[in-house]
């Protein structure tokens, strides 16, 4: 993921708070719902929240997934005042966007509007030429089609979202939540992003990429392994040596290593570091515990070990991370 330059303290929202989400015939209902949930719900606890509107790509009532019919607030002329435009999916990789839509998006980009695509919506931004020479992502199912149709895009297929400043793309459907929270964090700071995440009952941010969501054959004893993973998450503070894990899973150490990597893409040691880092980030953001206490609660054993893994994975120290993302903003 590419991050924009850090903004100073005292987040006050974007200069242009108007957010426009496209509505089209064949609308991806889930992706559109994410746009509404993240940007369209009133949040009285926040001064000057986004001002949300839907903009129709097609004439008349339009079909949406799930047997719905939808009608937008306004047409494409509504994009002219938007500071942020969301493309919540698209009706297909082979469905060419209307020229009027592409022209409107190009004009919005020229005047400095931010453009975001959710999932297959990347094909609309790509058709407008707005991703040429840029990094972008999409759902893993569409990677080959996007690469074949738009070879000038620097495709990043293994991430949840890509931020190129004024142009942003997200991967599969739920990754739209990750990208939306990222933009809210950019605009309003970590405290508000955390509030939005809590209201939606989702993590403030997720680690990893799409590889963990690509289906693979379920290994034998998959149920036992799933129970083991849940048990490991509940006991991150413990040492959890391989022998103990193998005994609990009723497998040999060699079999456990093979099954574990088949299921998670990581060795048990790598998986534990990943999970412990995730827990450490939560504690750094939402608690006042000292780094030494967090290291102990997450199973790193010492603050030095936590700092080592934090710098290696996130390129920043725990103290610096807390300064940027703690609940106090």
pLDDT in tens, 46-86: 989 999 999 999 998 899 999 999 999 999 999 999 999 99
Which residue ranges make up each domain of the chain?
18-200, 221-329
pLDDT at 1: 46
| CATH number assigned to the domain with residue range 18-200, chosen from the 4 options 3.40.50.880, 3.40.50.2300, 2.60.40.10, 3.90.1150.10 | 3.40.50.880
- Best CA proximity match to 111, nearest among 246, 235, 15: 15
Buried b (16+ CB within 10 A) or exposed e, 49-60: bbebbbbbbbee
- Three-state SS for 162? strand
Task: Please tell me what DSSP assigns to residue 167.
Answer: E
Angle of helix 222-234 relative to helix 253-264, nearest 10 degrees, comes to 90
For residue 222, pLDDT beyond 80: no
In this prediction, residue 210 carries a pLDDT of 64
Task: Round to whole Å and give the CA distance between 153 and 145.
Answer: 12
CA distance 43 to 185: 15
- Pick left, alpha or beta for residue 66 (phi over 0 → left; psi -120 to 50 → alpha; otherwise beta): left
Name the range with the highest mean pLDDT among 15-24, 157-166, 208-217: 15-24
Q: Among residues of the chain, what percentage have pLDDT more than 90?
A: 66
The helix-helix angle for 175-188 and 190-200 (nearest 10°) equals 150
The per-residue pLDDT of the chain, averaged, comes to 88
HEC assignment per residue over 50-116: CEEEEEECCCCCEEECCCEEECCCECHHHHHHCCEEEEECCCCCCCCCCHHHHHHHHHHHHCCCEEE
Q: What are 278-306's pLDDT values in tens digits?
A: 889 888 887 889 999 999 999 999 999 99
Q: If pLDDT is split at 50, 70 and 90, which confidence band does 328 have?
A: very low
pLDDT value, residue 214: 52
Distance, CA of 288 to chain centre: 26
Q: Which pTM does this prediction carry?
A: 0.68
Q: Per DSSP, what are the bridge partners of residue 168? A: 116, 163
pLDDT digits (tens, 9 = 90+) for 81-133: 999 999 999 999 999 999 999 999 999 999 999 999 999 999 999 999 999 99
CATH 1.20.140.10 fits 221-329, yes or no: no
| Model pLDDT, residue 151 | 96
């Amino acid at each position: 993921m590419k991050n924009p330059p850090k903004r100073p303290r005292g987040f006050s929202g974007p200069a242009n708070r108007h957010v426009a989400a496209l509505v089209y015939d064949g609308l991806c209902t889930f992706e559109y719902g994410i746009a509404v949930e993240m940007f369209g719900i009133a949040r009285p606890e926040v001064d000057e929240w986004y001002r949300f509107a839907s903009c129709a790509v097609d004439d008349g009532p339009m079909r949406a997934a799930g047997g719905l019919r939808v009608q937008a607030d306004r047409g494409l002329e509504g994009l002219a005042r938007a500071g942020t435009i969301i493309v919540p999916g698209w009706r297909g990789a082979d469905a060419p966007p209307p020229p009027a839509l592409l022209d409107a998006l190009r004009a919005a980009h020229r005047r400095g509007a931010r453009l975001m695509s959710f999932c297959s919506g990347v094909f609309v931004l790509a058709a407008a030429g707005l991703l040429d020479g840029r990094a972008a992502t999409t759902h893993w199912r569409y990677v080959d089609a996007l690469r074949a149709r738009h070879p000038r895009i620097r495709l990043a297929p293994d991430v949840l979202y890509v931020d190129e400043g004024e142009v942003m793309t997200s991967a599969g459907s739920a990754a739209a939540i990750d990208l939306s929270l990222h933009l809210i964090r950019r605009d309003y700071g970590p405290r508000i992003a955390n509030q939005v995440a809590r209201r939606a009952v989702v993590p403030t941010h997720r680690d990893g990429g799409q590889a963990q969501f690509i289906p693979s054959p379920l290994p034998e004893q998959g149920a036992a392994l799933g129970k083991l993973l849940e048990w490991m998450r509940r006991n991150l503070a413990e040492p959890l040596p391989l022998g103990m894990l193998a005994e609990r899973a009723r497998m040999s150490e060699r079999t456990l290593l093979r099954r574990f990597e088949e299921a998670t893409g990581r060795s048990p040691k790598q998986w534990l570091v990943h999970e412990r880092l995730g827990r450490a980030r939560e504690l750094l953001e939402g608690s006042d515990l000292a780094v030494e206490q967090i290291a102990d609660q997450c199973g790193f054993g010492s603050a030095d070990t936590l700092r080592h893994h934090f710098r290696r994975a996130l390129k920043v120290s725990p103290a610096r991370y807390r300064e940027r993302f703690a609940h106090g903003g």
